[in-house]
Structure 1
Amino acid sequence: MSVEIPQDILDSLTRVKMPSGASERQVNQVIDIAGHKVPVYTTSSLVLGSGAAGLRAAVELKRKGVDVTVATSAMFGGTSACSGSDKQTLHTAGTSNRGDDFVQLGQDISSGGAMDKDTAYIEGADSLRAFSSLQYMGLPLPQDRFGAVLRYQTDHDEVGRATSCGPRTSRLMVKVLCEEAIRLGVDFMKGTTGIQILKEERDGELKSSGLIAIKRTDETNEFGLIVILCDKLVLATGGPGELYRDSVYPKNCFGSLGMALEAGIEAVNLTESQFGIGTRRTEFPWNLSGTYVQVLPYIYSLDKEGNEHNFLADYYRTTQELVSNVFRKGYQWPFHATRMLDYGSSLVDLAIFIESSKGHTIFMDFNRNPQMVPGENEFSLKRLDDDVRTYLVNNEALQDLPIDRLRRMNPLAIELYKMHGHDISEKPLPFNVSNQHMNGGVEVDIWAQSSLKACYAIGEVSGTHGVTRPGGAALNAGQVFGTRCADHIASVGASTPETSEIKTQENTIAAVLAELTNAVGNEKQPSTDEVRDIIQNRMSDNAGFICDKDNALKALLDTQTFNRKLEKGLSIKTSRHAASYFQWRQTALSAEAVLNCLNRYINSDGGSRGARALCSKHGSEIPETRMGKLNEYRFIAEKDEHKSEKIIIKLDPKTNDFVTCTKDIREMEDPGSIFFEKNWGNYLTEKIYDKGFKHR
């Protein structure tokens, strides 16, 4: 029986009001460096990023009595606060009517390959702690009347471990975590962008010792440059959202991958991303997964003359096959090369790619049902594949039009676009296939430690996800490893540095100031706008979800040449553009790293998998359509041996060139052999946090 949801409830779950009243970290000292006055802040632990993962780390550190500061470019401007989908997913151990098996859950999470087995097990086992504490903090996760959380199936998930608070699940997570951080007295530094990681040598080993940053509101020097000294640094900045032109990331989400690479920190699996359908970045970027496609809207294109094309009808053999695969994009949202075969759901993505390359604009219309394949039956809700028909019947979504089916199943999905000035009950949505998430990132251990001592990475900047992951597993991973890095930092200890320790960093800071001074109005070097256009166009055109071996190599060589030029600097209009100077240089470096890894993978006979199809005339797999085989998109099949290894990349400080290698994935020890009496002492004495510790 359908339930009418009052407007005030719909508003509360879409127009999420964020908290205020956070305390601001105060400057410790202002010092003179190279003729500039530079503010210096000190803190025991610094979390860079105020998304769901970063706030989780800050909350857990504060609870454990560790002095912590959160530095953020935009308090509620990152992907956690601004991104989502129809009913944005949180994927955790199933707590509905069947319970869950952590071993099986870990195997399911890592089933796509190139993911450490111990990491996958941890994400499953620790998900209940993260999940329950979010409920405790007030996250409105839906339940049945018996207290079991309502669940559904999402992409790369055959069990149904997904749940949601609606389109703005991660924003609601940010809200409750920020409220908890404010309640605990966590200090914040707003408008603060990290630009360089500081390092020092202790006991013959390099460790992170702080951060050079740009603070927009600080006018102590012309650039807003400040220094934050810390004993422990947690990177929680999200993914490199400005890497692609065709992107569903909110604008200005740069992440800190490039900054980590510049610091010589190892990264992993940069070949692996997620691409899927979403509304365009020039309007309101949003993923069109779940119910947006499960209500079976009409997908069509318009050419430059305004002529309409029912282009999907050229790809599928019957109307039923077409609409059923549009539906499956709901829980098979990310592109996957194998789903282009046998008239699968990723053939939709390929069709959109081909249609867009003609200069046509793609639309999703919720006021019209899908048009028929020529010579075939017209669309009918009675002629659907069994899985599609069963889903719609179970959810009482057999209304005449897609908009009415969507209003029945997910009215929040309509409200979300209305809030951003687009009423999908009145007009179609323009959309495309875009880059949405990086599954690779900084290489970390089971406590989220990077290869640089005292520097941790959590959330999307951390490369823990492997090739595929269930939808919403990334939100869970950020919560799990935000908690685990706090556990580890509290165990090993974090002391507050003295401001006098900045003396060892003065030459580094002076070099940054000189670089920025040289950049202002420097017409000899490329501008940040030029860097943006060159890098984003090159990545979307040559390293997107449809990829050609020869083009990938040329893109790498061109990017290497371009980045050698950028070593002499970029051009910025004024001193107040200092942050963008580093953000775009580091984005260009990230592009080179991705292309480097991609070419290594291709040259090792790597095949098509989660992120992209590697097209080649020597490929063994050919997508087929109603009109015939698409030989132009023949692609190389994935090889099983690549599932058990990761691609590691690191910048060589001597040559300033990238070095890549492969590493076997970490296996998971048998949890059945970890006995209570034998291991309780390891917990009590905190031996479980020791480097290299294994249960006996």
Structure 2
Amino acid sequence: MDSAIPQEILDALTDIEMPRLRADEAVPEMLEIAGLSLPVYRTGCLVVGSGAAGLRAAVELKRRGGEVIVASQSAWGGTSACSGSDKQTLHTANTADHGDDFQAMARAIRAGGAMDEDTAYIEAVGSPRMMASLQYLGLPLPQDRFGATLRYKTDHDETGRATSCGPRTSRLMVKVLAEEALRLDVPIFNHTTVVQLLTEGEGDDRRVTGALAFRKADRSAANPYGLVLFAAPNAVLAAGGPGELYRDSVYPNGCFGTLGLALEAGIELVNLTESQFGIGTRREGFPWNLSGTYVQSLPHIYSVDAEGREHHFLARYYRTTQELASNVFRKGYQWPFHATRMLDFASSLVDLAIWRESAAGRRVFMDFNRNPLPVPGDQPFDLTRLDEDVRTYLGTAGADQELPIDRLRHMNPLAIELYRRYKVDIAAAPLEFAVNNQHMNGGIAVDPWGRSNLRGVYAAGEAAGTHGVTRPGGSALNAGQVFGTRVGEHIGASRTAHAPETVGSEALISAVTDLLARLNTDSAHSVKSVRDEVQARMSDHAGVICNGADVADALAAARELNRKLRADGIAPERSGDGARAIQWQQMALASEAVLAALDQYISQGGGSRGARAICSDDGEAIPMARDTDLAAFRFKTEREIDKQTQILVRLEGEELKIATRKNRSFDESARAFFERDWPDWLTGRIFDLDAKGLRE
């Protein structure tokens, strides 16, 4: 069966050509430091990361007259431009066709807990503006004939606030924002990896003065690593999440984020216990989340052992064919693993079953040319015998075709085209997949304007730890746009976004010397050995299934690795490639921070929630299965008190300090009043420029 959508339309929504970057500008000046000739680039703000959030911050600041440079490890190669699912979403504030309700949307965004109430409201209020501005820039969000945005349900939001222009929604966002940045003459420095923030001052008065980076274009005999200085009084960290943290990951290759860099600069991190895990194809091939219509088309899921034998393993977990198929379908809008959905034969029992097959050494596949096989002793699969919500959805979608591949082609042909672009034809062969790490919900602690605890440093996008436990699917895209805009507005209002007149200090000399000392070609710790150790430890002991003893042991091992790296340094993988070595040293530090936060959470009695099941012999809940004993997965349930707080991590010297704080509250009964509040806007008092961000 052919799709009703012409091929040229499918091509246009799948093959997104990105704009070409302009030629590098000549180096304005050189600085002799520690035996190196360092190129110096001055600007009012350095944005680290060229994804949707970073470009939004750069565009908004440039529109307000600020000087800004974007530094990108790989332009158009990050999470925004390269990852997603069959539907990648933005969030509207139109609920149940009754118009805008920001308070209801804010409650949905923060429903999982461990999220500031004011942040959730800011994201809700900002969502229509973000959508409208992206549409103005050319993002082709779908509408009906009356001009209303088409919407659907997604993870952790049953109302139907999400919208999408296909699997490449976030790439299209990057495209239109990049075109706007280039139109505004924002310099984008490609192949530039920022590895250290520079600061001056002490205590609460300490502030950022710039950053050191490795830049391929600036390598020379007098500077073999291509080390460069960006002198800037402001920095926006928007380089995404720590995708390389896990071996089992659906992130694109090379996504490191800036958590280790932030820790080294004394910046506070928050909610590192909170991630998202779910089914998807791994980055060894083409990394992609298998949510939405991939599972709503109801393919057959099976595993293959080392001898090549197939196993209909889900039949050991679900009691009937109808129950099995209906919960496979629900993974479409209940995609992330959640411990509570392992209970009562719900949808995360699918994740647990897949995780167990992988742990047993079996490979797991989806076959879109076979319907789900029956549970032994039960009736065969039938589209008329599904749970009511599933039957209604498929009926409304007109997805009554005989085979999953035809249902998928009818509902979302782009899902097939996307894999075909990467030489994977899911219409012809089964698709291998697993449970993978997909998103970090924690990150840099920020205030309502995106400020960190280090003056002049902001964060937006996945780098910012604003998402709490169970963000609605796709709302991270909205959050990145909202806070990217607010960061640009705030820096613009501060009138500090102009290039500094002087550069160079004793602190700069010390920073360059320290950075070069870490790159020790004689070190026993190579990039590969550190990567293998960190990724194995995180996937094996801090994935969807974990327990207190394993996490404590993993934390001790992570501390020991970082002690050795501080003493011995890390050996670059190849001559001149210092960036990757420093990134892995910082990833080892980020790994210790995640494990420290998780160990604190578990040791203080924290229970299972969005990211993980905390298994324990004294756990209150046990998943049930049709004919499989799951007593080993008895887990502790979440405590209500933990929803009201957030865990903070900060590096002091060589020790990670852990603290907690209550979520910031928001008074839903408060109302703006025009004549009273307009002066605050006119005078800039809304930006709270005299405050010290998170220090108060």
User: TM range, normalised to the smaller chain?
Assistant: over 0.9
Contact 2:527/2:573 (8 A) holds in 1: no
SS of equivalent to 1:4: coil
Please give the alpha-carbon distance, in whole angstroms, between the structure 2 residues aligned to 1:450 and 1:497: 21
| Deviation for aligned residue 1:131 | 0.8
Q: 1:364 to 1:201 in 2, by over 3 A?
A: same
Q: 1:430 to 1:3 in 2, by over 3 A?
A: closer
What letter matches 2:212 in structure 1? I
Please give the residue correspondences for 1:556-575 in structure 2 after superposition, counting only pairs within 5 Å: 556-568=555-567, 569-575=569-575
| Deviation for aligned residue 1:133 | 0.2
Contact 2:194/2:212 (8 A) holds in 1: yes
| Deviation for aligned residue 1:692 | 5.3
Name the residue aligned to 2:251.
Answer: 249
Name the residue aligned to 1:519.
Answer: 520
Contact 1:95/1:149 (8 A) holds in 2: no
Structure 1 stretch displaced more, 294-303 or 20-29: 20-29
SS of equivalent to 1:561: helix
Please give the alpha-carbon distance, in whole angstroms, between the structure 2 residues aligned to 1:436 and 1:681: 44
Please give the alpha-carbon distance, in whole angstroms, between the structure 2 residues aligned to 1:647 and 1:234: 23
Contact 1:368/1:402 (8 A) holds in 2: yes
SS of equivalent to 1:445: coil
Q: 1:660 aligns with which of 658, 661, 664?
A: 658
**1:431 matched to 2:430:** no
SS of equivalent to 1:37: strand
Please give the residue correspondences for 1:162-311 in structure 2 after superposition, counting only pairs within 5 Å: 162-201=162-201, 205-220=205-220, 221-311=223-313
Please give the alpha-carbon distance, in whole angstroms, between the structure 1 residues aligned to 2:57 and 2:122: 16
Please give the alpha-carbon distance, in whole angstroms, between the structure 2 residues aligned to 1:513 and 1:315: 52
Name the residue aligned to 1:343.
Answer: 345
Contact 2:96/2:160 (8 A) holds in 1: no
Please give the alpha-carbon distance, in whole angstroms, between the structure 1 residues aligned to 2:635 and 2:472: 24
Contact 1:96/1:149 (8 A) holds in 2: no
Q: 1:687 to 1:142 in 2, by over 3 A?
A: same
Structure 1 stretch displaced more, 457-466 or 83-92: 83-92
Name the residue aligned to 1:151.
Answer: 151
The Cα offsets for residues 288-318 of structure 1, whole Å up to 9 and x where unpaired, read as 0000000000000000000000000000000
SS of equivalent to 1:213: strand
Structure 1 stretch displaced more, 496-505 or 355-364: 496-505
The Cα offsets for residues 108-140 of structure 1, whole Å up to 9 and x where unpaired, read as 100100000000000000111111000000000
Contact 1:58/1:186 (8 A) holds in 2: yes
Contact 1:22/1:186 (8 A) holds in 2: no
| Deviation for aligned residue 1:577 | 1.6
Contact 1:319/1:372 (8 A) holds in 2: yes
In the superposition, the TM-score normalised over structure 1's length comes to 0.97
Name the residue aligned to 1:677.
Answer: 675
Name the residue aligned to 1:543.
Answer: 542
Name the residue aligned to 2:51.
Answer: 51
What letter matches 1:527 in structure 2? S
Contact 2:573/2:581 (8 A) holds in 1: no
**1:591 matched to 2:591:** yes
The Cα offsets for residues 558-606 of structure 1, whole Å up to 9 and x where unpaired, read as 1101110010201124442200111001100000000000010001100
Q: 1:203 to 1:657 in 2, by over 3 A?
A: closer
Please give the alpha-carbon distance, in whole angstroms, between the structure 1 residues aligned to 2:675 and 2:551: 54
Please give the alpha-carbon distance, in whole angstroms, between the structure 1 residues aligned to 2:332 and 2:12: 25
Between Structure 1 and Structure 2, how many residues are aligned? 689
Please give the alpha-carbon distance, in whole angstroms, between the structure 2 residues aligned to 1:473 and 1:440: 14
Name the residue aligned to 1:552.
Answer: 551
Contact 2:555/2:595 (8 A) holds in 1: yes
Name the residue aligned to 2:486.
Answer: 484
Contact 2:66/2:498 (8 A) holds in 1: no
Name the residue aligned to 1:610.
Answer: 610
**1:410 matched to 2:412:** yes
Q: 1:466 to 1:573 in 2, by over 3 A?
A: closer
Contact 1:33/1:509 (8 A) holds in 2: no
Please give the residue correspondences for 1:618-657 in structure 2 after superposition, counting only pairs within 5 Å: 618-653=618-653, 656-657=654-655
Contact 2:446/2:453 (8 A) holds in 1: yes
What letter matches 2:114 in structure 1? A
What letter matches 1:561 in structure 2? E
SS of equivalent to 1:598: helix
Name the residue aligned to 1:123.
Answer: 123
RMSD, matched Cα: 1.7
Please give the alpha-carbon distance, in whole angstroms, between the structure 1 residues aligned to 2:433 and 2:669: 45
Q: 1:601 to 1:513 in 2, by over 3 A?
A: closer
Contact 2:95/2:159 (8 A) holds in 1: no
Q: 1:316 aligns with which of 304, 318, 324?
A: 318
Q: 1:671 to 1:29 in 2, by over 3 A?
A: farther
Please give the alpha-carbon distance, in whole angstroms, between the structure 2 residues aligned to 1:500 and 1:525: 40
Q: 1:536 to 1:21 in 2, by over 3 A?
A: closer
**1:387 matched to 2:389:** yes
Please give the alpha-carbon distance, in whole angstroms, between the structure 2 residues aligned to 1:539 and 1:202: 35
Please give the alpha-carbon distance, in whole angstroms, between the structure 2 residues aligned to 1:641 and 1:26: 56
The Cα offsets for residues 393-430 of structure 1, whole Å up to 9 and x where unpaired, read as 00000100000000000000000000001000000100
Structure 1 stretch displaced more, 434-443 or 497-506: 497-506
| Deviation for aligned residue 1:21 | 4.2
Contact 1:92/1:473 (8 A) holds in 2: no
Please give the alpha-carbon distance, in whole angstroms, between the structure 1 residues aligned to 2:526 and 2:165: 42
Contact 1:142/1:149 (8 A) holds in 2: yes
What letter matches 2:464 in structure 1? S
Contact 1:25/1:188 (8 A) holds in 2: no
Q: 1:370 aligns with which of 369, 372, 377?
A: 372
| Deviation for aligned residue 1:498 | 3.9
SS of equivalent to 1:660: strand
Structure 1 stretch displaced more, 97-106 or 477-486: 97-106
| Deviation for aligned residue 1:675 | 1.4
Structure 1 stretch displaced more, 319-328 or 176-185: 176-185
Contact 2:68/2:497 (8 A) holds in 1: no
| Deviation for aligned residue 1:629 | 4.3
Please give the alpha-carbon distance, in whole angstroms, between the structure 2 residues aligned to 1:513 and 1:259: 12
Q: 1:329 aligns with which of 323, 328, 331?
A: 331
SS of equivalent to 2:439: strand
Unaligned runs of 5+ in 1: none
Please give the alpha-carbon distance, in whole angstroms, between the structure 2 residues aligned to 1:448 and 1:590: 21
The Cα offsets for residues 254-292 of structure 1, whole Å up to 9 and x where unpaired, read as 011110011110000000000000012211110000000
SS of equivalent to 1:601: helix
Contact 1:525/1:566 (8 A) holds in 2: no
Q: 1:465 to 1:25 in 2, by over 3 A?
A: farther
Please give the alpha-carbon distance, in whole angstroms, between the structure 1 residues aligned to 2:115 and 2:340: 19
What letter matches 1:669 in structure 2? D
Q: 1:628 to 1:530 in 2, by over 3 A?
A: closer
Please give the alpha-carbon distance, in whole angstroms, between the structure 2 residues aligned to 1:161 and 1:23: 41
Q: 1:95 to 1:531 in 2, by over 3 A?
A: same
Q: 1:80 to 1:122 in 2, by over 3 A?
A: same
SS of equivalent to 2:234: strand
SS of equivalent to 1:126: helix
In the superposition, the TM-score normalised over structure 2's length comes to 0.97
Please give the alpha-carbon distance, in whole angstroms, between the structure 2 residues aligned to 1:94 and 1:326: 28
What letter matches 2:520 in structure 1? A
Please give the alpha-carbon distance, in whole angstroms, between the structure 2 residues aligned to 1:190 and 1:549: 42
SS of equivalent to 1:88: coil
The Cα offsets for residues 359-407 of structure 1, whole Å up to 9 and x where unpaired, read as 1000000000000000000000110000000000000001000000000
The Cα offsets for residues 523-561 of structure 1, whole Å up to 9 and x where unpaired, read as x43101000000000000000011111101000011101
